Structure 1
Amino acid sequence: MTLTPEQKDIIDKYVKKPEWRVAGKRADFNAIGERFGVSPVVARVITNRGVTGEKAIAMYLDGDWDSMHDPALMKDMVEAGEIIKEKLSDNRRIRIISDYDVDGVTSNYILLLGLRRTWAALHGSCADDCTVVDYDIPHRVHDGYGINKRLIDAAIADGVDTIITCDNGIAAIEQVRYAKERGLTVIVTDHHQIPFEESDGGERVYMLPRADAVIDNQRQDCEYPFKGLCGAGVAFKLIQYMYRICGIAESEVNEFMEILGLATNCDMMDLVDENRIYVKYALESLKDSRNPGLNALMRLSGRNEKKISTYDLGFLIGPCINAAGRLGDAKQSLEFLLERDPNVAEARARELLAVNNERKSMTEAGARHITDMLETATVNGEFGQAATLADKVLVVYIPAVHESVVGIIASRLKEAYTRPAMVFTDAETPGILKGSGRSIDSYNMFEELNRFREMFTAFGGHAMAAGFSIEKERLDELRRKLNEAAVLTDEDITPKLMIDVAMPLAYNSIELTEQIERLEPYGKGNRKPLFAQAAVPVRRAQILGRNKNLLKLQLDTGYGRCVDAIDFDPDTFVNNIKQWFGEDECVKMLNGQPNAVVIDVAYYPTINEYMGRRSLQMKMEAYNKGI
């Protein structure tokens, strides 16, 4: 909706403006810099990320295969390995059942090819000859999340002996019991938090499915030192261990690292510890992937010859793989990854791009609808009657939108309003709503929802995200109870712009920028470094690009020098300058004339390469009126 100035003032009461804060962690930055051959500025950034101690810093900067943790440390890994080895040796049929999102599809891919390779080693044969390992994936609409009775019955009908779950199963207490009662062997591999009940005294009683082995690094009795693996990461560790005990070189598991890096980034796992290794590998290998499908997808998107970023993983490749599972059948995405014929792979890539474009249109429409609904209810003062921006936890319902995009819409709301968001829509079952939630760091969504788990007909997830179903008539009650129970403060829902170093623009150099680039990949848990300088004169502003969507500034660094800075929202910048300094000063700035425009700028240094020439260029991340 288009807000009047008065309505915007009402919204601004509830939606907080970002606060600029300079990180204050202390360490001997000079000593760290000398030890690892980096600037004290880079050492400060590393410390700000919570990376301390020689071993951790070395892994952060230069982690490789030798830095990774032993898969045998995972609880039940040894037991699962023995069971699977015996089943494969005896040619018992194994079926892998995953979730339908990127993490689930890639987990399935890793287990499927890894176990077929293991079977081949045990039988002195070729992996392509393996017929005893296959897969299934639940249909998002018809099946819902994870393993269920229909999938179990189908496995039994097909003569399957063993089911291995991936990226699901930890909360499937009844489903695993059903499978075991019918004589199946069940191995659960998952990375989601363990369901629990709280006693009257507040003690937690954790509930595990009674499978033959349960591999989940979130288990309280699991000694694996890194708890941040995605579902594909747990699957990767299982295959690594299978190769070890079946005489296959463990290094062969590296063929799955590209897929694992993609899953790690797309499942919003923290890019720390082992996860940095996986994502780094993926970013490098995807430029010329050996996987025909991924290679075609990168080429059709025009990214195969450019530097690949975590943005490409999370907003280009991942959504395409996700789209099939969201709008149709996730088996389409797995078949895409498995395809070896380059021509067929390219055709499948085109199909996924088309499906993803449809998904994007649905998401945009749904996000606009809910944003308008929230802001209208807020300006109309419908507090307590409907979801408004006065709520600390957003619980909203949108009819007639595909259930597959509610998670993306929830993520949009979380980013826009800096608070947990849960978005529901109608399920196929009359009277039932299905939803998805995304959270902020100060709100553990899994634990908060677990307090009211009896209200849900289905529920699961982790601290930052969850999926659930509920009877429609209980939605308002859920919204009320979650907001009454929420202890979120205004501080919690105020976005923070964390500055790593208050550093003058003049301090930057190409050498320092190259050192900063060693801190990539950036993403959740390892945000892009941010620097800031106050009171920077703007000598000139130019609006460039065919669509006039690029702003190029010349910022005065002092000492008679300027540095280029870019921004991608020229209209907002120009309007702000007019409001802060007046129309005349804005015109002078745009004409490159002496002017009074001064801004505080938060920036990230980059290297611009053009016609063989390299120069410094600042990406302006935020700005305020300078004094």
Structure 2
Amino acid sequence: MLRPKMKWLLQENNMSGYDKLQKALGVSSLTAKFLWSRGFRHEDEAKEWMYPTDEQYHDPFLLDDMEKTVARIQQAIESNEKILIFGDYDADGVTSTSMLMMALLELEAQVDWYIPNRFTEGYGPNIPAFERAKENDVSLIITVDNGIAAVAEIEAANDLGMDVIVTDHHEPPPELPNAYAIINPKKETCAYPYKELCGAGVVFKLVHALRGTFPHDLLDLVTIATISDLVSLTGENRALVQQGLKALSNSKRPGIKALMDIAHVSGKVVNEEHIGFVLGPRLNAAGRIDSANPAVHLLLSETMEEALTWAQELEKINTVRKNLVDDIAKEAVREVEETFSENDKVIVIGKANWHSGVIGIVASRLLERFYRPVIVFSIDEEAGVAKGSARSIEGFDMFQELSKNRDLFIHFGGHAMACGLTMKTEDIETLRIRLCEQAEVSMKEEDFIPKLPMDVSLSVEDVTVEALTELMQLGPFGIGNPKPMFLFEDVTIVSKRKIGSDNNHMKMELSSNGAMLESIGFQFGHLVDQLTEGVTASVAGELSVNEWNGFRKPQLQLKDMTVTEWQLFDYRRIRHLRDIFSHLPDEEETSVICFQEKTYEQLQSFRLDNLYMHDELKKEMNGRMIAIADMPHAVKELTDALTAFSHIERIYMFLYDTEETFFQPLPTREQFKWYFAFLKNQNPFHYEKYKEVLARKKGWTVEHLSWMTKVFLELHFVTMENGVVSLNPAPEKKSLMESFHYRKRLEKQEAEQKLLYSTYAELKKTIAPYIQVRTEIGTKEKVGNGL
């Protein structure tokens, strides 16, 4: 058996009917099953999803205050007013800044840009920055990807005689700033049909309104921002990103080309994963480590030479960022393991030397590792202030739970799954205690089991390169349109092996009904020793096309797996008892069974906690994992030992033995008959003096002869005194089977034949009837349709 790491949630859909959708759309069964699982029942709605059209783009003037904003910007351009774009330091913020800068320069505006330093100024507008803008004769400030909560700062700008236009996408607070105009689709008075635009998406609509035409040339930038900022990839965002990915793959923008060159993406068909894991992190890195300015300079570069200089600078910064994250994450994991217990429902941790620019990534790492709501703080000991980044799990609304503690915060904001906060260092422990108490009330034990939502159960035969190529056209995948997750039940593990420089990954070949599927499991290398080839498993994961040396084939990227049948691990050829320990998965959890006193005594020296002689076992013993250390004297000894355990998931079969009898032929009845006649004829026979001569004459071994003599003595056919064997004058007629030694020798040979020298399949078949298996380890739960 193998238990899964997560709770599997399979969409509960009656799949009858998907074949009609398949026929109507002319797609593969895989694509049709996936669409059906996502709730598509009719051809028209499925086509609308598969092939977004321009009709999904809404009129930018539906955004509240758009007309007012366009008029004010046009007035500023006509009057040669100085305009300042006030941006943010993440990928969404730098692309927003760059897009609006390009558009306003096109319109010949007097425009400049400014992004605050997160370490000296923090997030969003600040009064000193506005005061410097005034000193530079700026009369119009346009915020991008920020400003919706800057009540005091915008009031200060008003007092300085500057107009502020806010463009933002974050949740509006109860009190809005007194800005000249506010463009935010989430604003209560805004009638814009689609609410999930990112900051760059809002700027994209503003540029559309300013130009009067759809800004196709900015699709590459708005796509990077939309994916990097983890907004919903539905509706208008989905249409933008679908077009934008094509634009990115063919982008002529120097900054984008240089970024893709340095990240080894050039020449590839860019997808959402390239942005999410390669391009986006590099744009984010600058603002995380120091100033975000290099990212904006890169995107605004007009020549490849200039762009490559900035791209190389970002690459260096990103390397620093990765090293910082790795170092802090290792330290944080160690801290959690040493100081927190399973009773702590929320992890709150922080140190003075932790870089505040990467604590969000570290919080995500801790959440993934421990699956608990997490807050990681970077502490400024001199100022007595801590900046924190929070990440949460389903079942704990971080924004709502932190909102109950506003009295402790200097600054605070965010949403259900992620928040940022600043507070006094001295209050961190108070916050930790409060949040743990709140979690105790609001969360259930099952909330702390990671969930794995799955779309549909497939058969291996469904998976082809053609079908997967077609399925990928249903992307982009991300928030709101998660990447397809598939379940394969009752597949056979044909092969498995560790791969990677540290052997920390696993590669498997899976089969079902003659069809084969390759699987790769990153960070699953440890499972290789917990699986046996030929076992039936259920696996869950994402599908893709693996291309190597021009050859393309389907591949499953493993996310979780389970084996519900017991497994037999065959280590029957060990040479030394100490070799047992290199194969046991967990010595403390494994019950080690011995049948020979000598083995038991040797293993006692290793101080095993769960070491037993077979005759010590009692019924209903606990033990999921059983190791059979040595050879039993009979098959029944082994089967009796196995039935003592209430349930068994794995058996590790070693069967160590120093006295094998299988290749020592048992004397035949004819040999016994000849020897008895010989003793009768020679009576008495000086056994000790002539045993070697007799053995040599008959072609027997001395051990062979000695054993027959022992059987005769036990049956009282003969007596022995001073090495002389004498025939009993009136022996009672008995069968050889009445001899204990004869019977045990037969049993030992049978045991060796069935247990030690059998094939793997024969051995498993011999012991299978005696294994009690716990069947209630299933993890699959059906849930309602999520669309």
For normalisation by structure 1, the TM-score amounts to 0.83
Equivalent in the alignment of 1:564 = 518
Q: How does 1:605-624 map to 2 (within 5 A)?
A: 605-610=543-548, 612-624=550-562
| Range 439-448 or range 224-233, more displaced | 439-448
Answer yes or no: is 1:392 the counterpart of 2:360: no
| Range 315-324 or range 605-614, more displaced | 605-614
Structure 2, unmatched stretches of 5+, are: 566-787
Deviation track 1:375-428 (CA, whole Å, cap 9, x = no partner) reads: 2123xxxxxxxxx55333332212201110011111222222333322111248
Aligned partners of 1:212, 1:59: CA distance in 2, in Å? Answer: 39
Q: CA deviation at 1:338?
A: 0.7
Cα gap change, 1:137 to 1:556, in 2 (>3 Å): same
Aligned partners of 1:30, 1:59: CA distance in 2, in Å? Answer: 19
Aligned partners of 2:530, 2:302: CA distance in 1, in Å? Answer: 53
Q: Do 1:397 and 1:424's aligned partners in 2 also have CA atoms closer than 8 Å?
A: yes
Equivalent in the alignment of 1:475 = 428
Aligned partners of 2:302, 2:517: CA distance in 1, in Å? Answer: 48
Answer yes or no: is 1:85 the counterpart of 2:74: yes
Equivalent in the alignment of 2:392 = 439
Q: Do 2:460 and 2:516's aligned partners in 1 also have CA atoms closer than 8 Å?
A: no
Q: Do 1:270 and 1:525's aligned partners in 2 also have CA atoms closer than 8 Å?
A: yes
Q: Do 2:538 and 2:562's aligned partners in 1 also have CA atoms closer than 8 Å?
A: yes
| Range 25-34 or range 70-79, more displaced | 25-34
Cα gap change, 1:407 to 1:563, in 2 (>3 Å): closer
Answer yes or no: is 1:18 the counterpart of 2:6: yes
Aligned partners of 1:616, 1:18: CA distance in 2, in Å? Answer: 24
Aligned partners of 1:264, 1:540: CA distance in 2, in Å? Answer: 41
Equivalent in the alignment of 2:200 = 232
Aligned partners of 1:478, 1:544: CA distance in 2, in Å? Answer: 44
Q: CA deviation at 1:568?
A: 3.2
Equivalent in the alignment of 1:529 = 484
Answer yes or no: is 1:189 the counterpart of 2:178: no
Cα gap change, 1:356 to 1:31, in 2 (>3 Å): same
Q: Do 1:288 and 1:304's aligned partners in 2 also have CA atoms closer than 8 Å?
A: no
Aligned partners of 2:36, 2:179: CA distance in 1, in Å? Answer: 42
Aligned partners of 1:613, 1:404: CA distance in 2, in Å? Answer: 42
Structure 1, unmatched stretches of 5+, are: 1-11, 121-129, 196-205, 245-249, 379-387, 578-585, 590-595
For the pair shown, the structure with the greater C-alpha radius of gyration is 2
Equivalent in the alignment of 1:4 = none
Deviation track 1:418-471 (CA, whole Å, cap 9, x = no partner) reads: 333221112486111111222334443333333332321112223332222101
| Range 544-553 or range 361-370, more displaced | 544-553
Q: Do 2:29 and 2:462's aligned partners in 1 also have CA atoms closer than 8 Å?
A: no
1:371 counterpart SS class: helix
| Range 68-77 or range 166-175, more displaced | 68-77
Equivalent in the alignment of 1:258 = 220
Q: Do 1:60 and 1:272's aligned partners in 2 also have CA atoms closer than 8 Å?
A: no
Deviation track 1:25-51 (CA, whole Å, cap 9, x = no partner) reads: 468534544454434643443354467
Equivalent in the alignment of 1:507 = 462
Q: Name the Cα RMSD after superposition.
A: 2.5
Cα gap change, 1:444 to 1:60, in 2 (>3 Å): farther
Q: How does 1:279-318 map to 2 (within 5 A)?
A: 279-318=241-280
Answer yes or no: is 1:417 the counterpart of 2:370: yes
Aligned partners of 1:29, 1:109: CA distance in 2, in Å? Answer: 45
Aligned partners of 1:429, 1:70: CA distance in 2, in Å? Answer: 51
Q: CA deviation at 1:62?
A: 1.3
1:532 counterpart SS class: strand
Q: Do 2:64 and 2:190's aligned partners in 1 also have CA atoms closer than 8 Å?
A: yes
Q: CA deviation at 1:353?
A: 0.7
Amino acid at match of 2:163: T
Answer yes or no: is 1:599 the counterpart of 2:561: no
| Range 422-431 or range 216-225, more displaced | 422-431
Deviation track 1:325-359 (CA, whole Å, cap 9, x = no partner) reads: 11111112101111112112112111111111111
Q: CA deviation at 1:19?
A: 0.9
Q: Do 1:538 and 1:599's aligned partners in 2 also have CA atoms closer than 8 Å?
A: yes
Q: How does 1:140-539 map to 2 (within 5 A)?
A: 140-195=118-173, 206-244=174-212, 250-251=213-214, 253-378=215-340, 388-427=341-380, 430-486=383-439, 487-539=442-494
Q: CA deviation at 1:273?
A: 1.6
Q: Do 2:505 and 2:525's aligned partners in 1 also have CA atoms closer than 8 Å?
A: no
Q: CA deviation at 1:545?
A: 5.9
2:529 to 575, 594, 601: 575
Amino acid at match of 1:426: I
Equivalent in the alignment of 2:89 = 100
Deviation track 1:242-277 (CA, whole Å, cap 9, x = no partner) reads: 112xxxxx13x1211111111111111122222223
Aligned partners of 1:257, 1:467: CA distance in 2, in Å? Answer: 30
Cα gap change, 1:573 to 1:309, in 2 (>3 Å): farther
Deviation track 1:531-582 (CA, whole Å, cap 9, x = no partner) reads: 2222221222344566656643222221x443333333463121222xxxxx
Equivalent in the alignment of 1:384 = none
Q: Do 1:536 and 1:626's aligned partners in 2 also have CA atoms closer than 8 Å?
A: no
Aligned partners of 1:622, 1:394: CA distance in 2, in Å? Answer: 25
Aligned partners of 2:459, 2:371: CA distance in 1, in Å? Answer: 30
1:492 counterpart SS class: helix
Deviation track 1:504-530 (CA, whole Å, cap 9, x = no partner) reads: 112323332232112222222222212
For normalisation by structure 2, the TM-score amounts to 0.67
Cα gap change, 1:162 to 1:50, in 2 (>3 Å): farther
Q: CA deviation at 1:286?
A: 2.9
Cα gap change, 1:371 to 1:515, in 2 (>3 Å): same
Deviation track 1:45-76 (CA, whole Å, cap 9, x = no partner) reads: 33544678777644431114332122222222
Q: CA deviation at 1:93?
A: 1.3
Q: CA deviation at 1:177?
A: 0.8
Overall identity of the aligned pairs, in % = 34
Amino acid at match of 1:397: G
Q: Do 1:60 and 1:276's aligned partners in 2 also have CA atoms closer than 8 Å?
A: no
Amino acid at match of 1:324: A
Aligned partners of 2:246, 2:222: CA distance in 1, in Å? Answer: 13
Amino acid at match of 1:620: L
Equivalent in the alignment of 2:65 = 76
Aligned partners of 2:64, 2:37: CA distance in 1, in Å? Answer: 32
| Range 462-471 or range 602-611, more displaced | 602-611
Equivalent in the alignment of 1:63 = 52
Amino acid at match of 1:81: V
Q: Do 1:98 and 1:166's aligned partners in 2 also have CA atoms closer than 8 Å?
A: yes
Aligned partners of 1:104, 1:52: CA distance in 2, in Å? Answer: 39
Q: Do 2:496 and 2:528's aligned partners in 1 also have CA atoms closer than 8 Å?
A: no
| Range 364-373 or range 560-569, more displaced | 560-569
Amino acid at match of 1:321: L
Aligned partners of 2:292, 2:226: CA distance in 1, in Å? Answer: 18
Amino acid at match of 2:191: E
Q: Do 2:506 and 2:528's aligned partners in 1 also have CA atoms closer than 8 Å?
A: no
Aligned partners of 1:51, 1:447: CA distance in 2, in Å? Answer: 34
Give the length in aligned residue pairs: 560
Q: Do 2:542 and 2:558's aligned partners in 1 also have CA atoms closer than 8 Å?
A: yes
1:556 counterpart SS class: strand
Q: Do 1:403 and 1:427's aligned partners in 2 also have CA atoms closer than 8 Å?
A: no
Cα gap change, 1:534 to 1:410, in 2 (>3 Å): same
